[in-house]
Amino acid sequence: MLTALLLLLAQAASPQTPPLTAATSPAPPAPPSTWPARDAQVTLRDFRFRSGETLPELRINYTTLGRPHRNARGEIDNAVMVLHGTGGTGRQFLNPSFADELYGPGQPLDIDRYWIILPDGIGHGKSSKPSDGLRMRFPHYDYADMVEAQYRLLHDRLGIRRMRLIMGTSMGCMHGLMWGEEHPDFARALMPLACEPVEIAGLNRMWRQLAIDGIRADPAWSNGDYATPPVQGLRTAASLLFVAGAAPLYFQALYPTRATAEAFMRERVAASIAAIDANDLIYQIDASRTYDPWPRLEAITAPTVWINSADDFINPRNLDFPRAAVARMKDARFRLIPESDDTRGHGTHTAARFWKQDLAALLDRTR
């Protein structure tokens, strides 16, 4: 249940980069891959939120790769939607750890075969959000509103009647389960990555609320009408996000001394603070407040492959929800990726090498 922002905090370096010591300097990062991505926007007029609030114009930004293919009936049959986590954007899926494993020739989401759609959720990226000007007067959206906006984008604006695949990471994982319940025949396959199928409660809700309360407690926040960013509140939130996204074995291997660990932590938290808008983050975290697919899991009939990782702080390995949930779903398989000094905690959801074969197998059996 997290974020491109969280990935920024959690991904210490590429696997080839050695830990910093007095005798080494950082290796230069590999040049980023270039993918032929295109951005577009739609405006959903008079959008009514579940809270009863409305926006006369709700902007939804999305990024695409590849092109739509139409079958003999003229219907688009190769559309794949990938949904980001809290604080993220669709463009996070151009990251090499995801894109370079999936989009190339012969890879599971080869863009010569599939039309990839990467939306920015409400409150994120270039879609409508509090920091556009309304601040805390922005409608208090929740996950159901976000899924509804995604449906209108795909069905009403892009003319898609059935998706080849819906997959998502963290918050997008939860959205995928909601898609399976709300629109059971809309996707031929689902692949949720890094979430649980239950209300956000227990420690998961606690750290989220602590981050929100930390921002609100900063006098500089000024009920959302701040003139300058509430840095102390943002530091509290960024620190919690850092811990929630951390990978213990991986970080121990990369940062085995106090000095290197402290230097990395401080640099990432500072970078996070500079990238966050306080009001946007409050809304992003709190949007999970009504999430609870547990009562209706039987409605999910699309073939589903659901994957969590054992070193995920947010979705702990000892929770029994996945086993019980899969037993109630028509065609679902669950896999827990074992912890290692190479897995990335919650961020394993975007390191496609850990689960790309599961994706390939799902696409193969749902052809």
Sign of the dihedral defined by the CA atoms of residues 244, 308, 88, 131, in that order = negative
Q: Do the Cβ atoms of 119 and 158 come closer than 8 Å? A: no
Give domain status of residue 122, yes or no.
yes
Give domain status of residue 228, yes or no.
no
CA dist 102 and 259 (Å) reads 36
Give domain status of residue 341, yes or no.
yes
Look up the pTM and report it: 0.93
Give domain status of residue 348, yes or no.
yes
Give domain status of residue 16, yes or no.
no
For 57, 63, 141, 145, 336, the CA distances from 47, given in Å and listed in that order, are 7, 21, 11, 9, 38
Give domain status of residue 214, yes or no.
no
Domain count for the chain, please give it.
1
* Tokens encoding 100: 């370079």
- Which pLDDT belongs to residue 33? 72
- Which pLDDT belongs to residue 8? 53
- Please give the chain's pLDDT, 367 residues, in tens: 455 445 554 444 443 333 333 333 334 445 557 899 999 999 999 999 999 999 999 999 999 999 999 999 999 999 999 999 999 999 999 999 999 999 999 999 999 999 999 999 999 999 999 999 999 999 999 999 999 999 999 999 999 999 999 999 999 999 999 999 999 999 999 999 999 999 999 999 999 999 999 999 999 999 999 999 999 999 999 999 999 999 999 999 999 999 999 999 999 999 999 999 999 999 999 999 999 999 999 999 999 999 999 999 999 999 999 999 999 999 999 999 999 999 999 999 999 999 999 999 999 999 9
Q: Do the Cβ atoms of 235 and 332 come closer than 8 Å? A: no
Give domain status of residue 281, yes or no.
no
Give domain status of residue 67, yes or no.
yes
Residue environment code for 98-121, b if the CB has 16+ CB neighbours within 10 A, otherwise e: bbbbbbeeebbbebebbbbbbbbb
Q: What is the CATH number of the domain that holds 46?
A: 3.40.50.1820
Q: Do the Cβ atoms of 197 and 177 come closer than 8 Å? A: yes
**Structural domain boundaries enclosing 159:** 4-10+31-202+291-365
